[in-house]
Amino acid sequence: MNAYSLRRQCVVLNVNGIGAMSMPPRRLAVVAIVAVTIAAAGAVVAQQRGAEAGPRKMAAGAPATAPAESADARAVRADLEAYVAAVAKKDFKTVAGYVDAERMVQEIEAAGMLAKMSGAQRARLVSGIEGQIEKGIRDPANVLAMTVIRVKKVHVLAGGREAMVYLKGAHASEAFMARWWMVKSSSGRWRTYDVEDASRFGVRLSMVMCGAVATTDSGFRPAAWVKDLQEIEPLLKAQGDGDVQKVEQMLPRLEKAGFPPGVQAMVLTVKGITLATQQKNAEAEAAFAQAARLDPDEPMALYFRATMYNVSMQKPEKGAELARQFLDRLGDDAMAFEQLAIALRIMHRDAEAIEALGRGNDDAPAEIELLAGYANWAAAAQPEDVTRRIERALSSVADPKAATETLAEDMGNRNAMDCLIAAYKKAKPGDAQTLAKLEEIKKTIPPTP
């Protein structure tokens, strides 16, 4: 599951139809039930993008390094660059050296994942985790096997010995957002000791490693909730499949499982999303508030809540507030700008909405749905800018024709189609067949009033 792809839900809006939030019928199904995409949309988008452009690549965007960063923050970035280089070279010994299993065990102890261990048990756990990591990083789809890391923000924690890093990463099959916790070693190298994939926020690598070792070594006594972690994937799948009955059956037990704060916040966020899609807004807000108290720094929880407030609960002021909180944590980010733009659009603050969506496009120029949304909103007033942005996207993908065809499906007005046609003429001037097809698609779109 890739929660980052939740951006599909309603960016592709027709610039002519604010009240009804109208959009082309070909994409209407995508908008219908936002929360249903929480587990399934990632696979859908990955399949579509794989057909268009081959192996997943991170889009280019705004500069990663913020001004006036501390020396420690710059060192974190440098060590992450070295880490990615080692992954690319398949230098697995060096990669494993960037993971601090000893510090990970401290997290396991602090979270109460295992009963009190003897010194020998603790040493065995460290060794077991090291073995699991060395094995896992050889799998191209492993969360640690990142071939691209784009650091969004580095928060050096008190004392300067540890840091929490918000980043976007990619491995062989998908791109995703993550939080990494890092510690400075005695040599000065920054090493990771925990990782959280944003699509499963709350469930950290330390928990997975603990479960993997504890299930193969009967000498360890894991807490009851460690076993219950295996229910998280079925919960998210049920949410993604729109199986509200199953979600509602699972939630009461998982709410009482005794999970640590981050996982409990994720369970409560799923509960809030389920309630919001049923228009039980007061109950949904209560669940979201509980989740926020448990894990106020989790950006994806903010994103999910912003989405619900914008679409299901029709409270765009709250949606905008949450999107801005997301931006405060991560800096410029396409997902947050999308939700901010949607909220502003609902509030009829059109110029601000277009500016926000444009900034989102600057952060992720090749994200097709985001680009289509900007085109639909801005083409009438800023055709040259829209055409330039489409040209930029087409120049960065492996298959400009496939990307153009996807954009054509998302275009909701003739002004946007004109920009797409102009951009494709520059990208593929000799492809008369596709240009003729685009002109035919344009004829099916009602004239702009």
For residue 332, the model assigns a pLDDT of 86
CB 417 within 8 A of CB 447: no
Residue range 301-327: average pLDDT? 90
Token pair, residue 308, equals 């619900």
For residue 245, the model assigns a pLDDT of 94
Q: How far apart are CA 368 and CA 408, in angstroms?
A: 10
Token pair, residue 293, equals 């108290």
Place of tokens 């120049």: 395
Q: Per-residue b/e over 258-286, b at no fewer than 16 CB within 10 Å?
A: ebbebbbbbbbbbbbbbbbbeebbeebbe
Read off the pLDDT of residues 70-96 as tens digits, 9 standing for 90 and up: 999 999 999 999 999 999 999 999 999
Instruction: Please give the residue that has the higher pLDDT: either 305 or 215.
Output: 305
Question: Per-residue confidence at 210, pLDDT binned at 50, 70, 90?
Answer: confident
Q: How far apart are CA 302 and CA 346, in angstroms?
A: 19
DSSP 4: G
Read off the pLDDT of residues 222-246 as tens digits, 9 standing for 90 and up: 888 888 888 988 998 898 888 999 9
Residue range 331-358: average pLDDT? 93
Residue range 175-193: average pLDDT? 92
For residue 6, the model assigns a pLDDT of 35
Alpha-carbon distances of 294 from 124, 268, 280, 368, 439, rounded to whole Å: 32, 10, 22, 35, 53
Domain with CATH 1.25.40.10 in the chain: 3-59+297-444
Domain with CATH 3.10.450 in the chain: 71-222
Q: How far apart are CA 254 and CA 129, in angstroms?
A: 26
Question: Per-residue confidence at 199, pLDDT binned at 50, 70, 90?
Answer: low
With a CB cutoff of 8 Å and minimum separation 6, the contacts of 61 are 150, 332, 334, 362, 363, 364, 365
Q: How far apart are CA 66 and CA 271, in angstroms?
A: 36
Residue type, 165: V
Lowest mean pLDDT among 29-33, 208-212, 341-345, 357-361: 29-33
Instruction: Please give the residue that has the higher pLDDT: either 297 or 256.
Output: 256
Residue range 16-45: average pLDDT? 27
Counting every residue written for the chain, the total comes to 449
82-88: long-range contacts at Cβ-Cβ below 8 A with a sequence spacing of 24 or more? 83/146, 83/149, 84/146, 84/147, 84/148, 84/149, 87/137, 87/145, 87/146, 87/147, 88/147
Residue range 409-413: average pLDDT? 93
Cα 82 to the chain's mean position, in Å? Answer: 23
- CATH 3.10.450 fits domain 71-222: yes
Residue range 104-122: average pLDDT? 90
Which class is domain 3-59+297-444?
mainly alpha
Instruction: Please give the residue that has the higher pLDDT: either 145 or 298.
Output: 145
Alpha-carbon distances of 263 from 232, 257, 283, 301, rounded to whole Å: 9, 10, 20, 11
Residue range 293-316: average pLDDT? 87
Question: Per-residue confidence at 435, pLDDT binned at 50, 70, 90?
Answer: very high
Model pTM above 0.75:
no
Cα 124 to the chain's mean position, in Å? Answer: 35
pLDDT tops 80 at residue 66: no
For residue 142, the model assigns a pLDDT of 87
For residue 267, the model assigns a pLDDT of 94
pLDDT tops 80 at residue 351: yes
For residue 111, the model assigns a pLDDT of 86
pLDDT tops 50 at residue 52: no
pLDDT tops 80 at residue 151: yes
For residue 115, the model assigns a pLDDT of 85
Residue type, 382: Q
For residue 341, the model assigns a pLDDT of 95
Instruction: Please give the residue that has the higher pLDDT: either 311 or 30.
Output: 311
DSSP 162: E
CB 89 within 8 A of CB 439: no
242 backbone φψ class: left, alpha, beta (φ>0; ψ -120 to 50): left
For residue 214, the model assigns a pLDDT of 74
Read off the pLDDT of residues 126-138 as tens digits, 9 standing for 90 and up: 999 999 899 999 9
With a pLDDT cut of 70, the percent of the chain lying above it is: 84
For residue 404, the model assigns a pLDDT of 96
pLDDT tops 90 at residue 53: no
pLDDT tops 60 at residue 11: no
Token pair, residue 1, equals 């599951």
Q: How far apart are CA 37 and CA 133, in angstroms?
A: 31
For residue 240, the model assigns a pLDDT of 83
For residue 45, the model assigns a pLDDT of 26
Question: Per-residue confidence at 200, pLDDT binned at 50, 70, 90?
Answer: low
pLDDT tops 60 at residue 295: yes
pLDDT tops 80 at residue 4: no
Read off the pLDDT of residues 375-400 as tens digits, 9 standing for 90 and up: 999 999 999 999 999 999 999 999 99
For residue 43, the model assigns a pLDDT of 27
Q: What is the mean pLDDT of the chain?
A: 82
